[in-house]
Amino acid sequence: MNLLGRIEDLPADYVAALKTQNLVPLWPSLRALLPPDKPQPQTRATHWSYEALRPLLLKAGELTPIDKAERRVLVLANPGHGLEKMQASAAIYLGMQLLLPGEWAPAHRHTPNAVRMIVEGEGAYTTVDGQKCPMGRGDLILTPTGLWHEHGHDGERPVVWLDVLDLPLVHYLEASYHVDGPRQSVQPGRGDLVHAIGGVVPSPLFERSDKGYPMLRYPWAQTRAALETLATAQPESAAVQVSYVNPATGGDAQNILGYYALMLRPGQPLRLPMRSPASVFHLIDGSVDVTVEDQSFTLAEADTCCAPGYTAVQLANRSPEHPAFLFIADETPLHRKLGVFENRG
């Protein structure tokens, strides 16, 4: 690779003259923009321990009342991007949100898409597009772009969930904004129940629903049952994984980020292929070792970690007796739509 000219190689008055015209020479930055063979991501493999963050989140509950926070969230920020950027990867934002009994996080809608993966507690609900979605551990609840959503809590104990948004991407596109709204009136309708059986969708009088997002809540009991059934139907060596999809189209549940659940059999090691999108791993149940290139983490329950794209990730269930269950978020739908998706095996 030949060495390209540096900015210091140019006469200072020439560089100054370029600057006055808002011009920049490409060649000193060409290799940084287009590095050889593979990207040089800022996203760093990072682990967030739930045991470590939980007391800090509960402390936020004491320090900041909900009306001073609107959303009481500690952001899981990737140091590779700089913590102030509040992003886990180029396109993924992660936050742990706390709602205390009796609190209400008021209605708004925004351009970024969100999902919630419920971590602990009972009695909270989120109302999305008029549908009241109960929040239980392991449930996945969608808040697609533009839909009204608010969170309430009728239970006795704190409720915590993981927010996953495509906010860094939408913000980068200068398309991120929100609108506040009044409390929603709850409409009848349970997309989670009427779409609970795979292979059939509601079609009254031969018409399919024209809702872009007919299913907003994916109950954990159903997802887990699907994984356990799949495990009995597949050879021991096969990965036991399901994708969260839009049941009306079979396509990804959301447009930008992809969501999956993975079961590791007792003791199972699993090497994930080296693919272009960055990914996030959140442990719902069990104990799992994660290796991303030269870094290793042990995920305890409710821990979260991320891995940059173009890296192979190794997972291993530490338990010789029990299966482990992971929730995964990644940038695959985005990469595929943009035509930059790669799987290098």
Binding site for ligand GTQ (CB under 6 A): 71, 73, 95, 97, 110, 114, 149, 163, 165
Q: Whole-angstrom Cα distance, residue 145 to residue 79?
A: 27
- The Cα 345–Cα 342 span in angstroms is 9
Minimum CB separation of residue 265 from ligand GTQ in Å reads 33
Least distance between ligand GTQ and beta carbon 335 (Å)? 23
Element (H, E) at 15: helix 12-20
CB of 97 or CB of 131, closer to ligand GTQ: 97
**Choice between 149 and 171, CB closer to ligand GTQ:** 149
Asked if 99 contacts 157 with a C-beta cutoff of 8 angstroms, the reply is: no
To ligand GTQ, the closest distance from the beta carbon of 231 in angstroms equals 33
Identity of the amino acid at 273:
P
Whether residue 77 contacts residue 86, with contact meaning beta carbons closer than 8 Å, is answered with yes
Which residues are registered as beta bridge partners of 243? Answer: 260
Question: Shortest distance, CB of residue 160 to ligand GTQ, whole angstroms?
Answer: 12
CB of 293 to ligand GTQ, least distance (A): 28
3-state secondary structure of 156: coil
**Joined tokens for residue 27:** 């060649």
By beta-carbon proximity to ligand GTQ, the closer residue of 88 and 272 is: 88
Beta carbon nearer to ligand GTQ, 217 or 275:
217
Residue 73 or 140 having the CB closest to ligand GTQ: 73
Q: Which residues contact 312 (CB under 8 A, 6 or more apart)?
A: 271, 272, 273, 274, 293
Which of 72, 335 has the CB closer to ligand GTQ? 72
Strands (E), 59-209: 73-75, 93-99, 104-110, 114-120, 124-128, 131-134, 140-143, 149-153, 159-165, 178-180
Nearer Cβ to ligand GTQ (164/215) = 164
Residue that has been written with the tokens 């920049």 in this structure: 24
> Which residues have CB under 8 Å from 72's CB, separation 6+?
57, 60, 61, 64, 66, 97, 98, 99, 105
Pull the structure tokens for residue 296: 């290793």
SS3 state at 322: coil
Nearest to 98 by CA among 54, 142, 32: 54
Least separation in angstroms between CB 144 and ligand GTQ? 12
Amino acid at 8: E
Q: How far apart are CB 337 and ligand GTQ at their closest, in Å?
A: 23
- Identify which of residues 141 and 253 has a Cβ nearer to ligand GTQ in the complex: 141
Give the integer Cα–Cα distance in Å for 37 and 31: 11
Closest distance of CB 162 from ligand GTQ, Å: 9
Instruction: Write the DSSP string, 23-76.
Output: ---STTTHHHHS-SSS---S---EEE-HHHHHHHHHHHHHHS-HHHHSS-EEE-
95 or 152, CB closer to ligand GTQ?
95
Q: How far is the CB of 70 from ligand GTQ (least distance, A)?
A: 8
